[in-house]
Amino acid sequence: MSRGTIIFVDDEANIRDSAREWLELSGFAVTTAPDGAAALAALEPARCDVLITDVRMPGMGGTALLEAARLRDPTLPVILLTGHGDVALAVEAMRGGAHDFLEKPYDADHLVAVLDRAVAQRRLGREVERLRDAVGTEVPLEARFVGTSATVQSLRGRIGQIASLDVDVLVHGETGTGKEVLARALHDFGKRRDRHFVALNCAAIPESVFESEIFGHDKGAFTGADQKRVGRIEHANGGTVFLDEVESMPLALQAKLLRVIQERVVEPLGSNRQVPLDIRFIAATKSDLKAESDAGRFRADLYFRLSTVAVAIPPLRRRRGDIPLLFRHFCMVAAARHGVEPRAVDAGVLAVLAGSDWPGNARELRAVAERFVLGLPVEASAQDDEDDRDATLADRVAAYEARLIAEALAAAEGSAQEASRVLGVPIRTLNEKIQRHGLRSVRS
């Protein structure tokens, strides 16, 4: 898969040729154009991820091209290349819908970083549109676990690796990290995708009705059993059973569940018949099941049976670089659901996002995005550095740096130049860090 499909517009042939060479070596598919009219002729919205254009060109200039391109495709990211004297013009263009701007001479690696984020946003936007028009179609992994961090890329690779394997899986993650999302991805991308996916919250089912609900019962099995009931596990036959919060299941019921998982048969209450099962079990927990097992609060044999393959979902604070992209994704989804235009995410909002420890993880971030789209204040949990104690030094330094830059941008009302002065770093260095952390200044 291409890193992205780009149209690069500049009236100087040597600039076009060098840009094409560098971007193609970096993995992009590139079309070049000498002016705005030629770029519009080459623009096919379904095939173009990003448009990059010089501002000042003979004939149709960059700002006119921006307006024309966005009339044809309102969600197309347009990046402007400006001379030093055109910065004010570029700022106005960003207010008019430009994705970003780079001042010439730009750093080639910096351009690639800007393009990566623009392409990611473009593909997420397309996915939202696809979901609007085709409810029930398969959603790719990139739209289920959003992010460009190494941990998320590794997680997506792990899902792809085990989705088609007929093994039980134990998923570990904090509240709100997306354990059920992962379980559904394993089901949807596996060979059982055409059969039922049955989710059971083990903490929400009262112990008194657990057996009847899960295993089913025959007519007359107990008082009030006026008719036969197929249990949830039997209903999932051929598909997947997801056992959420499995650590909350009482020990007596754990023994019965263990027999079902081991023997792959279920015996409804009040019946002597055994129903053969062809089922994949995926269990999820926010606790350390091994520690629970060692303490006698969870059956060791059930733990070992469930954990044939174990997958851990990292908390949001361990992948802070994904927060801006994930937040924008949630904003687009929420805007589509409410039928409103997505709001621009400025440095002040990003400062709030960077300053949270996200105890509710992606679920909390999604709720904040929903409030933001509806025009409500953005509030998030206060930062607690103790929660980062299990992160690597590099992750903690990067998170601290991102937070300081976001706060400086917010205090400077989005001015990268002013933030550069306050932080004591060259403007070019700061701009590179802004792009690396997914932040965005309003003006230079």
Q: Give tens-digit pLDDT for 83-95.
A: 766 667 766 767 6
Domain shared by 287 and 320, yes or no: no
- CA 306 vs. chain centroid, Å, equals 27
Long-range pairs for 361-366: beta carbons < 8 A, 24 or more residues apart: 361/173, 361/174, 361/175, 361/176, 361/177, 361/178, 361/315, 361/316, 362/176, 362/177, 362/178, 362/316, 362/326, 363/175, 363/176, 363/178, 364/176, 365/316, 365/323, 365/326, 365/327, 365/330, 366/330, 366/334
Residue 13: pLDDT above 70?
yes
Calculate helix-pair angle for 13-25, 108-133, nearest 10 degrees.
70
Residue 243: pLDDT above 90?
yes
Q: How many residues are there in the chain?
A: 444
Q: How far apart are CA 118 and CA 28, in angstroms?
A: 13
Domain shared by 111 and 255, yes or no: no
The answer to whether residue 441 is domain-embedded is no
15, amino acid identity: I
Q: What are phi and psi of 389, to 5 degrees?
A: -65, -20
Domain shared by 36 and 105, yes or no: yes
More confident residue, 219 or 275: 275
Domain shared by 176 and 287, yes or no: yes
Q: How far apart are CA 126 and CA 142, in angstroms?
A: 12
- Confidence grade of residue 134 (pLDDT, cut at 50, 70, 90): very low
The answer to whether residue 110 is domain-embedded is yes
Least confident of 24-28, 121-125, 304-308, 423-427: 121-125
CA-wise closest residue to 181 among 368, 403, 363, 22:
363
Residue 167: pLDDT above 70?
yes
Residue 68 lies in domain: 5-133
Percent of the chain past pLDDT 70, that is, above it, reads 86
Domain shared by 323 and 303, yes or no: no
Domain shared by 102 and 169, yes or no: no
217, amino acid identity: H
The answer to whether residue 123 is domain-embedded is yes
Q: Coil, strand, or helix at residue 373?
A: helix
Tally Cβ neighbours within 10 Å of residue 359.
16
Rounded mean pLDDT, 13-21: 91
Q: How far apart are CA 61 and CA 55, in angstroms?
A: 6
Q: pTM of the predicted model, to two decimals? A: 0.61
Domain shared by 120 and 49, yes or no: yes
Q: How far apart are CA 360 and CA 175, in angstroms?
A: 6
Q: In the listed set 68, 102, 133, which residue is the last one of a domain according to the structure?
A: 133
- Confidence grade of residue 135 (pLDDT, cut at 50, 70, 90): very low
Give me the pLDDT at residue 259, please: 92
Least confident of 43-47, 129-133, 166-170, 331-335: 129-133
Q: In the listed set 133, 168, 191, which residue is the last one of a domain according to the structure?
A: 133
Which is it for the CA torsion 166, 168, 170, 171, positive or negative? Answer: positive
Q: What are phi and psi of 7, to 5 degrees?
A: -110, 120
Domain shared by 332 and 307, yes or no: no
The answer to whether residue 442 is domain-embedded is no
Q: How far apart are CA 258 and CA 281, in angstroms?
A: 11
Residue 426: pLDDT above 70?
yes
Residue 386: pLDDT above 80?
no
Domain shared by 46 and 13, yes or no: yes
Give me the pLDDT at residue 151, please: 87
Domain shared by 156 and 285, yes or no: yes
Domain shared by 270 and 364, yes or no: no
Q: How far apart are CA 324 and CA 238, in angstroms?
A: 39
Least confident of 183-197, 328-342, 384-398: 384-398
Across-strand partners of 146? none
- Confidence grade of residue 14 (pLDDT, cut at 50, 70, 90): very high
Residue 46: pLDDT above 90?
no
Least confident of 45-49, 192-196, 244-248, 435-439: 435-439
Q: In the listed set 112, 133, 154, which residue is the last one of a domain according to the structure?
A: 133
Distance set, CA 160 to CA 141, 163, 241, 278 (Å): 9, 6, 19, 21
Residue 139: pLDDT above 90?
no
- Confidence grade of residue 365 (pLDDT, cut at 50, 70, 90): very high
Outline where 174-282 has alpha helix (H): 179-188, 207-215, 232-235, 251-263
CATH, residue 56: 3.40.50.2300
The answer to whether residue 77 is domain-embedded is yes
Domain shared by 170 and 264, yes or no: yes
* CB contact burial 225-237 (16+ within 10 A = b; e otherwise): eeeebebbbbebb
Q: Given the DSSP bridges, would you call strands 265-266 and 309-312 parallel, antiparallel or unpaired?
A: unpaired
Give me the pLDDT at residue 129, please: 61
CB-CB contact of 202 with 249 (8 Å): yes
The answer to whether residue 221 is domain-embedded is yes
Q: What is the pLDDT of residues 178-194, one digit of tens each?
A: 999 999 999 999 999 99
Rounded mean pLDDT, 45-50: 87
The answer to whether residue 47 is domain-embedded is yes
CATH, residue 223: 3.40.50.300
Please state the domain count of the chain. 3
The answer to whether residue 274 is domain-embedded is yes
